[in-house]
Amino acid sequence: MLPEVLTIAGLHALYRTGVSPADVLRDVTARIAECPDKAIWISLRPLDALLAEATTLGDGPSAEKPLWGVPFAVKDNIDCAGLPTTAACPAFAYTPSADAFAVARLRAAGAILIGKTNLDQFATGLNGTRSPYGAPRSVFNADYVSGGSSSGSAVAVGAGQVAFALGTDTAGSGRVPAAFNNLVGVKPTKGLVSTTGLVPACRSLDCITVLAGTVGEADAVRRVMQGFDAADAFSRAMQPRALPQAGLRFGVLGASEREFFGDAETAALYDAAIARLEVLGAKRVEVDYAPFRECTALLYGGPWVAERLAAIDAFFEAHASDMDPAVRDIVAGAKGMSAVDAFKGVYALEAYRRRADAEWTKMDVLLLPTAPTIYKVADMQADPIRLNSNLGRYTNFVNLLDCSAVAIPAGFRADGLPGGVTLIAPAFADDALAVLADRLHRAQPFGMGRDRAATLAGEAMTASAEGLLEIAVVGAHLTGMPLNHQLTSRDGILLRKTRTAADYRLFALPNTTPPKPGLMNEPGFAGPGLEIEIWGLTPRHFGDFVESIPAPMGIGKLKLADGGEVSGFICEPYAFNGAQDITSFGGWRAYVASRAG
């Protein structure tokens, strides 16, 4: 009944056909039971409890319940009322009476909690093998690590068991597993999402993150969770930071800083992502990555490791023998550190920040590989510290230097294993960064999770994030067509390519210069759906653009193949007299190409 990988948009489209949340929950429960990877989950809610909750949801998705009926998972270092919080350490387990701040917001928005997922113990690791509950595996090859520490959350989404999952990110834990499972990982600016109810790793750095199939959906979840929390001393209100809509500069690694540990194919995926971002109109700038890289040593080799001990100090004194050996050794490294070391670390961080700030004057965003390579589980277990450190080469600095980040898929190696890239920007650029990351992801989609052929769900929320209004174009305003300049000259940005719903016909209108098509809605017609592009314009430019549209064209609401709606071109009925039906071409671009040939 359900697609291989679940999305919010796809589930809501199913619900409009009469499928019920109870149907979905039964299917999800069966998928989990049949999945051969038994290390994904630490605890699950029973089906009868899920079905009972489904009866309380109300009538359907709404502005108040944008996540209505959507199953999700939570990393087991985040509190969920009535389910044990273990942090992947049974001796540490306790059962909270209340949901974490972020979880409570998601459930109030209609999302249905399925259970708690596995992780590197105490969120200490980037590989997913440091847990007594087993090691979740990449959805593409069970010999390889899933990435961590949000291992179970990533695999649950990648395997189609939930539509999104919460992870956490201190050093890359919400981004590396996204890369290894062909997913998006949204890491908000520190403090935007409250950490009340989170077992700390490094409390001053921790972020609750989202893993999902698309940037639009992951960012929509982030928005639901976001909000100032007076109970969290590190909570911050959003102070939106814009990115240029034209002339954007993106930083890339120079030759001396490119390190892929012999993985030439992942290096090639990074180069291909750079080329795609250039095609979207951004300008690459080679920057000095050294201050970012050198900063990463503070996280595990410097005094910030003492913050990991501070989070579990009493437990560590009494139960160190109950911990994963690699995690125990890392945390024990804080024992010899002093207040003097802590201040020296703060001074060092500020010096790195000053050097990094100089690089930020050259760029608006930084594009990096999410991870330089991927390792087999057996190899990671044989060399857990060094290989784990390799995975964090391009992630560890992000929270130390107070950045926002979005990890997206970047393609596949010849052996079928995925790679990823991450867009990074200064704090509070989250909204604008989501727009850019969504555009780059859609420039060459690689499916979602284990379904490499999946069509990316269409989401308007990334456009509204930037204060942009969406408009769908179907003909002469498409990229490369004669009137596209009317969008680009107004600083319009291409948000995504998609298709209309099936009940539309397309006609080549007579006597138009340049040639234009007209779109006709015909309820009951079962066509192919028509190729369209969705562009984003500021409100001022949107109004100016609409004002310039000549008769017989106008703007109305178009239905999309994924069930959503968007403003777009419609046509007065009289204009179809003498027009040629070109619906079979599937879009204006294919029709124009046929005429040219």
Distances (CA, A) of 496 to 239, 273, 454, 504, 519: 26, 16, 15, 19, 19
pLDDT score, position 464? 45
pTM: 0.80
Band the pLDDT of 597: cuts 50, 70, 90. low
Q: Do residues 447 and 474 both lie within one domain? A: no
pLDDT digits (tens, 9 = 90+) for 266-303: 999 999 999 999 999 999 999 999 999 999 888 887 78
- Domain final residue, candidates 408, 438, 463: 463
| Higher pLDDT pick, 59 / 43 | 43
Is pLDDT of 463 > 70? no
Q: Do residues 17 and 154 both lie within one domain? A: yes
pLDDT score, position 547? 86
Kindly state whether residue 414 falls inside one of the protein's structural domains.
yes
Band the pLDDT of 458: cuts 50, 70, 90. low
Closest residue by Cα to residue 10 from 457, 500, 446: 457
| Tally of CB atoms within 10 A around 227 | 15
Q: Do residues 434 and 549 both lie within one domain? A: no
Kindly state whether residue 326 falls inside one of the protein's structural domains.
no
Taking all residues of the chain, what is their mean pLDDT, rounded to a whole number?
A: 93
Kindly state whether residue 336 falls inside one of the protein's structural domains.
no
Domain span holding position 500: 468-596
pLDDT digits (tens, 9 = 90+) for 508-565: 999 888 999 999 999 999 999 999 988 888 788 888 888 888 888 888 999 988 777 8
Kindly state whether residue 300 falls inside one of the protein's structural domains.
no
Band the pLDDT of 467: cuts 50, 70, 90. low
Q: Do residues 551 and 585 both lie within one domain? A: yes
pLDDT score, position 460? 39
- Domain final residue, candidates 463, 496, 525: 463
Q: Do residues 430 and 488 both lie within one domain? A: no
CATH number for the domain harbouring residue 202: 3.90.1300.10
Closest residue by Cα to residue 99 from 80, 86, 76, 77: 80
Q: Do residues 71 and 200 both lie within one domain? A: yes
User: Do the beta carbons of residue 291 and residue 356 sit within 8 Å?
Assistant: yes
Write down the catalytic residue from 43, 138, 153, 173: 173
Q: Do residues 18 and 164 both lie within one domain? A: yes
Flag the least confident range among 7-16, 386-395, 529-538: 529-538
Q: Do residues 65 and 185 both lie within one domain? A: yes
Write down the catalytic residue from 131, 138, 146, 149: 149
Kindly state whether residue 76 falls inside one of the protein's structural domains.
yes
pLDDT score, position 383? 97
pLDDT score, position 535? 86
Band the pLDDT of 465: cuts 50, 70, 90. very low
- Domain final residue, candidates 425, 441, 463: 463
| Tally of CB atoms within 10 A around 383 | 13
User: Do the beta carbons of residue 563 and residue 533 sit within 8 Å?
Assistant: no
Kindly state whether residue 584 falls inside one of the protein's structural domains.
yes
Band the pLDDT of 461: cuts 50, 70, 90. very low
Flag the least confident range among 83-87, 110-114, 402-406, 577-581: 577-581
Rounded to whole angstroms, the Cα distance separating 494 from 429 reads: 19
pLDDT score, position 336? 84
Write down the catalytic residue from 75, 187, 190, 516: 75
Rounded to whole angstroms, the Cα distance separating 330 from 142 reads: 27
Please list the residues that pair with 560 across neighbouring strands.
500
Does 173 qualify as catalytic in the annotation?
A: yes
Distances (CA, A) of 546 to 482, 515, 537: 17, 19, 11
Q: Do residues 112 and 161 both lie within one domain? A: yes
> How many domains, the chain?
2
CATH number for the domain harbouring residue 545: 3.10.490.10
Distances (CA, A) of 180 to 144, 235, 421: 9, 30, 11
Does 149 qualify as catalytic in the annotation?
A: yes
- Give rounded-to-5 percent helix, strand, coil for the chain: 35, 20, 45
pLDDT score, position 550? 86
Kindly state whether residue 356 falls inside one of the protein's structural domains.
no
Q: Do residues 488 and 435 both lie within one domain? A: no
Q: Do residues 446 and 476 both lie within one domain? A: no
Q: At what angle do helices 47-54 and 21-34 cross, to 10 degrees?
A: 160
Kindly state whether residue 270 falls inside one of the protein's structural domains.
no
Please list the residues that pair with 566 across neighbouring strands.
558
pLDDT score, position 174? 97
Q: Do residues 472 and 410 both lie within one domain? A: no
